[in-house]
């Protein structure tokens, strides 16, 4: 009697991940299979970040995930596995990872999407040419923005925009945010790590999602964009497209879903054969150097100097020397001393002034094994304000003191507790 046509949900997806132009390895991980899509962005020195992201993703994929409850349990299990591994293996102390997952569940006879998130990887929802960030970032900067203390422009260049306030594996249990979405034909989801969103703004992401229909090509183009904009971090993009067909239930009563893409697809940084590093010819070409061109034009200017008085030439030379001297002084000041700061959620010692000066950016001097999330609130604030030191020994001494006050999963804190 019931002639209501059944709806068939079809999914097509494609992903890309790349280590970027600065990092030595890729600590992002992703997974895509019918009904479950995951992106994780690991943090932790040595191999910690890579281990944490892979462990979390693999644990998710092995867990039951038929309903919202089971999905929450799967994320808690991922948290537990990463946390316990970090405690058991000294070289992995302090490791953690973000985890953002999109899953299809059956609820009341229809299919729904569940988005779960811990950290600052994101899920975007693209519908009717509108891009909406579905997840909320668990980062220091995002919380300042939610409190109205920082605008989007300032947040985009904030030196501590990567500082996480929540991550998988840091504590024995973790709070998980959840969203439910009823799918509409033509919906597009993007799961990504902050290596994409720190380099490419929402407008450019939306534009890319609008111009390419193929999810795999779109994901690759997004990662390529992140690299073209600097590639300062690993970046990962996973695009999932939703198609919904009305089908004749008499002829095809069993079919309610069908996949369009290849089956299980684990794309993990350590597996070269299945990862898709994006190394487009031309994408990494350095901008043309201008020094030789300016040298040429200067020579021709000298050749054409007929009529220019000797005095004018002398004045120009004096001005040039003065400018060069001023630049050298600014450069010396900007690069003088050391400060303790944060790069990719990790406490580091950098050479130069906090935040840099003009175009003189600080440079990385030493990594430490301390994660920002291990610091107490006061020390986190100190690092955000920047801690400047006159020499390297002082900066190292400060790091030693930081280590005595850690609140994260370390031998010291466990011993105290
Ligand atoms: Mg990242």
User: Beta partners for 241?
Assistant: 12, 188
CA distances from 57 to 10, 93, 382 (A): 23, 19, 33
DSSP state of 168: B
pLDDT at res. 158: 85
Domain boundaries, the chain: 6-269+287-292, 299-334, 336-404
Whole-angstrom distance, CA of residue 334 vs CA of residue 359 = 9
| pLDDT reading at 364 higher than 80 | no
CA of residue 282 to ligand 1 center, whole Å: 24
CA of residue 339 to ligand 1 center, whole Å: 22
> pLDDT category, 108, cuts 50, 70, 90?
confident
> pLDDT category, 248, cuts 50, 70, 90?
low
Q: Is 28 helix (H, G, I), strand (E, B) or coil?
A: strand
Mean pLDDT, to the nearest integer, of 174-197? 96
Mean pLDDT, to the nearest integer, of 3-9? 71
CA of residue 191 to ligand 1 center, whole Å: 13
Owner of token pair 């999602």: 209
Half-sphere exposure of 358 (CA within 13 A, CB side): 11
CA of residue 232 to ligand 1 center, whole Å: 9
pLDDT at res. 209: 97
Q: Which residues surround ligand 1, an ion (CB under 5 A)?
A: 41, 193-195, 233
CA of residue 234 to ligand 1 center, whole Å: 6
CA of residue 193 to ligand 1 center, whole Å: 6
pLDDT at res. 249: 52
pLDDT at res. 163: 86
Whole-angstrom distance, CA of residue 102 vs CA of residue 15 = 14
Whole-angstrom distance, CA of residue 224 vs CA of residue 210 = 16
Owner of token pair 């867990």: 63
pLDDT at res. 414: 29
Q: What does the pLDDT look like over 139-171, one tens digit per residue?
A: 989 999 999 999 988 888 888 877 899 999 999
Name which of 293, 246, 78 is nearest 174 in CA terms.
Answer: 78
The CATH architecture to which 6-269+287-292 belongs is 4-Layer Sandwich (3.60)
| pLDDT reading at 111 higher than 60 | yes
**What average pLDDT does the chain have?**
80
> pLDDT category, 107, cuts 50, 70, 90?
confident
> pLDDT category, 256, cuts 50, 70, 90?
very low
CA of residue 235 to ligand 1 center, whole Å: 7
CA of residue 195 to ligand 1 center, whole Å: 5
Q: What does the pLDDT look like over 43-86, one tens digit per residue?
A: 987 789 999 999 999 999 999 999 999 999 999 999 999 999 99
pLDDT at res. 400: 87
Mean pLDDT, to the nearest integer, of 191-218? 95
pLDDT at res. 359: 64
- Dihedral Cα 83, 88, 89, 90, nearest 10 deg: 90
pLDDT at res. 226: 98
CA of residue 344 to ligand 1 center, whole Å: 7
24-28, 118-122, 145-149, 245-249: which range is least confident on average? Answer: 245-249
Name which of 298, 355, 346 is nearest 44 in CA terms.
Answer: 346
CA of residue 404 to ligand 1 center, whole Å: 27
CA of residue 59 to ligand 1 center, whole Å: 20
Whole-angstrom distance, CA of residue 21 vs CA of residue 23 = 6
Q: What does the pLDDT look like over 299-326, one tens digit per residue?
A: 333 333 434 466 777 888 888 888 888 8
Name the residue with higher pLDDT: 94 or 96: 96
pLDDT at res. 2: 52
pLDDT at res. 304: 37
CA of residue 162 to ligand 1 center, whole Å: 8
The model carries a pTM of 0.65
The shares of helix, strand and coil residues in the chain, as percent rounded to the nearest 5, are 35, 30, 35
> pLDDT category, 334, cuts 50, 70, 90?
confident
């Amino acid at each position: 009697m019931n002639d209501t046509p059944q709806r068939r949900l079809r999914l097509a997806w494609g992903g890309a991940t790349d280590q970027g132009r600065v990092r030595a390895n890729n600590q992002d991980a992703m997974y895509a299979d019918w009904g479950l899509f995951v992106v994780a962005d690991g943090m932790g020195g040595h191999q910690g970040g890579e281990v944490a992201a892979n462990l979390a993703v693999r644990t998710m994929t092995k867990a039951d995930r038929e309903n919202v409850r089971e999905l929450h349990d799967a994320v808690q299990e991922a948290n537990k596995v990463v946390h316990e591994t970090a405690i058991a293996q000294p070289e992995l102390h302090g490791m953690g990872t973000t985890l953002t997952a999109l899953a299809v569940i059956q609820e009341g006879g229809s299919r729904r999407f569940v988005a779960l998130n811990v950290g600052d990887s994101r899920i975007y929802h693209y519908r009717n040419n509108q891009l909406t960030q579905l997840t909320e970032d668990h980062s220091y900067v995002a919380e300042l923005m939610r409190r109205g203390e920082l605008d989007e422009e300032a947040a985009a260049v904030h030196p501590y925009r990567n500082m996480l306030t929540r991550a998988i594996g840091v504590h024995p249990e973790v709070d998980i945010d959840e969203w439910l979405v009823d799918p509409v034909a033509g919906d597009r989801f993007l799961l990504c790590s902050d290596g994409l969103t720190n380099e490419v703004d929402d407008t450019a992401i939306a534009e890319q999602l609008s111009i390419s229909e193929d999810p795999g090509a779109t994901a690759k183009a997004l990662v390529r964009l992140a690299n073209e904009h600097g590639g300062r971090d690993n970046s990962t993009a996973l695009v999932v497209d939703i198609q919904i067909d009305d089908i004749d239930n008499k002829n095809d009563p069993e079919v309610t879903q069908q996949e369009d893409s290849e089956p299980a697809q684990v794309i993990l940084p350590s597996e070269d054969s299945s990862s898709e590093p994006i190394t487009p010819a031309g994408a990494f070409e350095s901008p043309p150097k201008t020094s030789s061109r300016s040298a040429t034009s200067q020579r021709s200017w000298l050749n054409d100097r007929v009529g220019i008085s000797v005095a004018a030439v002398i004045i120009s030379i004096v001005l040039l020397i003065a400018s060069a001297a001023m630049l050298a002084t600014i450069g010396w000041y900007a690069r003088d001393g050391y400060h303790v700061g944060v790069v990719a959620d990790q406490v580091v010692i950098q050479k130069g002034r906090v935040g840099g000066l003009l175009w003189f950016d600080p440079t990385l001097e030493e990594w430490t094994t301390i994660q920002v999330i291990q610091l107490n609130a006061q020390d986190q604030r100190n690092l955000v304000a920047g801690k400047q030191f006159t020499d390297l020994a002082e900066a190292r001494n400060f790091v030693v003191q930081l280590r005595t006050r850690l609140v994260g999963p370390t031998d010291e804190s466990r011993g105290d507790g």
